[in-house]
């Protein structure tokens, strides 16, 4: 698949366009999304420059704020269908621990943000847990929808 990756930490010159990055595989509780839009978030810059204590495995795909169309769904996914237009809630957690079950998933020991440690949306496709997928409001373009996720998460919290 096509993607913009980083192979080293540093400036924008480290962003590299590739056409043959492996397409993500989905697990039974995940969906594969064809990315239609991804917003630039300051998190992307921090990750790219290596400014954070948490560093992803390289090569890495940035991008936390994603909208797109569902291409595939895992066998356990019921509420999301192929062809649905969606936005990704980028806060990733286990979904089963006490913190997650009590509505404090951002306190999960396994918490991640799409594009931080996990591969993000600067690519043709991204896979995420189905619980992180929200149907895109029809009155929003993909570009508008992708401008909301992480910014909204910060304000809401």
Report pTM: 0.93
Q: What is the pLDDT at residue 18?
A: 98
Q: What is the pLDDT at residue 151?
A: 73
Q: What is the pLDDT at residue 157?
A: 60
Number of residues written out for the chain: 157
Number of neighbouring beta carbons within 10 Å of residue 106:
13
Q: What is the pLDDT at residue 150?
A: 82
- Residues of the chain where predicted confidence (pLDDT) is lower than 50: none
pLDDT tens across 126-148, in order? Answer: 999 999 999 999 999 999 999 99
Instruction: Answer yes or no: are the C-beta atoms of 48 and 6 closer than 8 Å.
Output: yes
User: Residue 27 and residue 84: Cα distance in Å, rounded?
Assistant: 18
Kindly state the DSSP code that residue 151 receives in the 8-state scheme. Answer: H
What fold does the segment set 3-156 form as a domain? Quinone Oxidoreductase; Chain A, domain 1 (3.90.180)
Tell me the domain boundaries of the chain. Answer: 3-156
User: Residue 63 and residue 101: Cα distance in Å, rounded?
Assistant: 26
Q: What is the pLDDT at residue 137?
A: 97
């Amino acid at each position: 698949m096509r993607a913009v990756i980083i192979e080293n930490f540093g400036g924008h010159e480290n962003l590299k366009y590739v056409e043959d990055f492996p397409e993500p595989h989905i697990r039974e509780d995940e969906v594969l999304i064809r990315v239609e839009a991804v917003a630039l978030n300051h998190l992307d810059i921090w990750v790219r420059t290596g400014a954070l204590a948490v560093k992803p495995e390289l090569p890495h795909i940035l991008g936390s704020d994603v909208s797109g169309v569902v291409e595939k769904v895992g066998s356990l996914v019921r509420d999301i269908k192929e062809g649905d237009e969606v936005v990704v809630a980028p806060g990733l957690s286990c979904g089963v621990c006490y913190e997650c079950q009590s509505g404090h998933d951002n306190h999960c020991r396994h918490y991640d943000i799409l594009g931080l440690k996990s591969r993000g949306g600067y690519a043709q496709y991204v896979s995420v847990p189905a619980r992180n997928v929200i149907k895109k409001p029809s009155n929003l373009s993909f570009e508008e929808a992708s401008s909301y996720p992480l910014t909204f998460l910060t304000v809401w919290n």
